[in-house]
């Protein structure tokens, strides 16, 4: 990239790989390159590395190692959870009802929609409040014996809101309905104890916590009915065929271990900067609103809407000034529409189009945040004028 001073504030989209993670991965590219399924010593070394990675992830999630299934990303983990549990529920007990929140990541919502359109499942959306939060009481009312799977996002990627996963999980557990949560954002910032959370399935992805892109895991509680969605060899207890990506699995485990070890310091660091961003934006920018929950939100996540602003031009103006942020709205040239999530919160088009997401990382400095905050009001005003 160029010499100009670039400031990255899009850690919910992806994070840089931690140098300690890269170092842990390197030997597994060209020194220990065996196939973990091979019998010889090369295979044994690779297998030992992935089983060690599995133990580290299991320790972090508070589960047994055999309850951790390695996948190629957070998206694949969500796909396996939804499709695998839905198929098994239909086969084993004729269940064909899928219950999800309307603020899921597309990895969950598009999978559920495909199960409905191609496989005949009945898809029902849970209502959310103005912060995008699901209530456990409502889940209790919508559950029925034919519910195959329930899925509610742990921490929302777009608006940062945290859901009461433990309470929703308790409701599902009482009715013996499998409960999945997409914790791809959650696991990057919060302690994730699958026992306390009462979940049967939980998805994580390494590149949201300073691991490499293209690797993830799915926690599957022992005894949860599930079929594989990728078939082939017998890797991963027959639930996910394909030769393991050994270096990436080693990297994910090291990144996850560091996320637990440095949890408290990362949390405090992020929260202080997040609250400075939220406070300053709401105070200094007219016609601005916070999206998502004011306190029950990701510690590194600030998201807003600005009335009468086109979010895409705002991002472009920010990019010109060297700030990398994100917007919630799907970028459709010609006919922009607010994102599904923002529409679900009840925001009008005039507000919903002007969205901005600012997410902080462990190495974001107060000076970077100050430099961003000193320019943002002018940039928003510029974006407003440009819309005319």
Ligand X SMILES: *Cc1c(COP(=O)(O)O)cnc(C)c1O
Instruction: Take residue 216 and report the two structure tokens written for it.
Output: 């993830």
Mind giving me the DSSP string for 226-271? ---SS-SS-TGGGTS-S---HHHHHHHHHHHHHHHHTHHHHHHHHH
The Cα 168–Cα 222 span in angstroms is 19
| Nearest approach, Cβ of residue 214 and ligand X (Å) | 7
If the CB atoms of residues 153 and 314 are measured against ligand X, the closer one turns out to be 153
313: Cβ–Cβ under 8 A, 6 or more apart, which residues? 383, 386, 387
If the CB atoms of residues 248 and 306 are measured against ligand X, the closer one turns out to be 248
If the CB atoms of residues 115 and 153 are measured against ligand X, the closer one turns out to be 153
The Cα 159–Cα 162 span in angstroms is 9
DSSP classification of residue 304: E
| Nearest approach, Cβ of residue 155 and ligand X (Å) | 7
If the CB atoms of residues 61 and 143 are measured against ligand X, the closer one turns out to be 61
Residue for token pair 């017998």: 234
DSSP classification of residue 342: H
* Beta-ladder partners of 98: 123, 149
| Nearest approach, Cβ of residue 339 and ligand X (Å) | 14
| Nearest approach, Cβ of residue 366 and ligand X (Å) | 25
Return residues touching ligand X (CB under 6 A). 73-75, 105, 107, 153, 157, 182, 184-185, 205, 207-208, 216
| Nearest approach, Cβ of residue 179 and ligand X (Å) | 16
If the CB atoms of residues 307 and 340 are measured against ligand X, the closer one turns out to be 340
133: number of Cβ within 10 Å: 19
| Nearest approach, Cβ of residue 383 and ligand X (Å) | 25
63 annotated active-site:
no
From the list 63, 73, 172, 331, the catalytic residue is: 331
In the chain, which ranges are continuous DSSP H helix? 19-25, 27-30, 41-61, 74-93, 106-119, 136-142, 165-174, 186-189, 194-197, 246-261, 263-284, 311-320, 340-344, 349-352, 366-387
The Cα 343–Cα 329 span in angstroms is 10
Q: Which residue's CB atom is positioned nearest to ligand X?
A: 74
The Cα 17–Cα 125 span in angstroms is 36
Active site residues: 331
């Amino acid at each position: 990239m160029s010499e100009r001073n670039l400031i990255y504030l899009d850690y919910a989209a992806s994070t840089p790989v931690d140098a300690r993670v890269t170092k842990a991965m390197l030997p597994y590219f060209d020194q220990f390159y065996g196939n973990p399924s091979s019998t010889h010593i090369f295979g044994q070394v690779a297998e030992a590395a992935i089983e060690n990675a599995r133990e580290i992830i299991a320790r972090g999630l508070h589960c047994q190692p055999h309850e951790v299934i390695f996948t190629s990303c957070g998206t694949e983990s969500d796909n396996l959870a939804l499709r695998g549990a839905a198929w098994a529920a239909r086969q084993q007990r004729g269940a064909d009802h899928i219950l999800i929140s309307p603020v899921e990541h597309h990895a969950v919502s598009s999978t559920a929609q495909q199960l409905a359109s191609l496989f005949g499942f009945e898809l029902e959306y849970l209502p959310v409040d103005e912060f995008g939060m699901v209530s456990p009481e409502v889940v209790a009312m919508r559950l029925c014996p034919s519910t195959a799977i329930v899925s509610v996002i742990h921490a929302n990627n777009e608006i940062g809101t945290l859901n009461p996963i433990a309470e929703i999980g308790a409701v599902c557990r009482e009715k013996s309905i499998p409960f999945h949560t997409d914790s791809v954002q959650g696991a990057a910032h919060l302690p994730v104890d699958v026992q306390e959370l009462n979940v049967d399935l939980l998805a994580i992805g390494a590149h949201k916590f300073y691991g490499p892109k293209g690797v993830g895991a799915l926690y599957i509680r022992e005894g949860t009915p599930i079929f594989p969605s990728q078939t082939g060899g017998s890797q991963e207890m027959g639930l996910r065929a394909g030769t393991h990506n050994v270096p990436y699995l080693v990297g994910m485990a090291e990144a996850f271990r560091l996320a637990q070890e440095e949890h408290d310091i990362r949390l405090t660091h992020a929260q202080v900067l997040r609250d400075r961003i939220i406070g300053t934006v709401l105070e200094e920018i007219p016609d601005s609103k916070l999206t998502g929950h004011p306190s029950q939100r990701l510690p590194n996540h600030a998201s807003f809407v600005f009335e009468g602003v086109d979010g895409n031009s705002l991002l472009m103006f920010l990019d010109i000034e060297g700030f990398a942020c994100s917007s919630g709205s799907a970028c459709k040239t010609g006919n922009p529409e607010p994102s599904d999530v923002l529409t679900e919160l009840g925001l009008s088009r005039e507000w919903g189009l002007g969205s901005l997401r600012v997410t902080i990382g462990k190495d974001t400095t107060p000076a970077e945040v100050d430099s961003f905050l000193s320019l943002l009001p002018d940039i928003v005003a510029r974006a407003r004028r440009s819309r005319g």
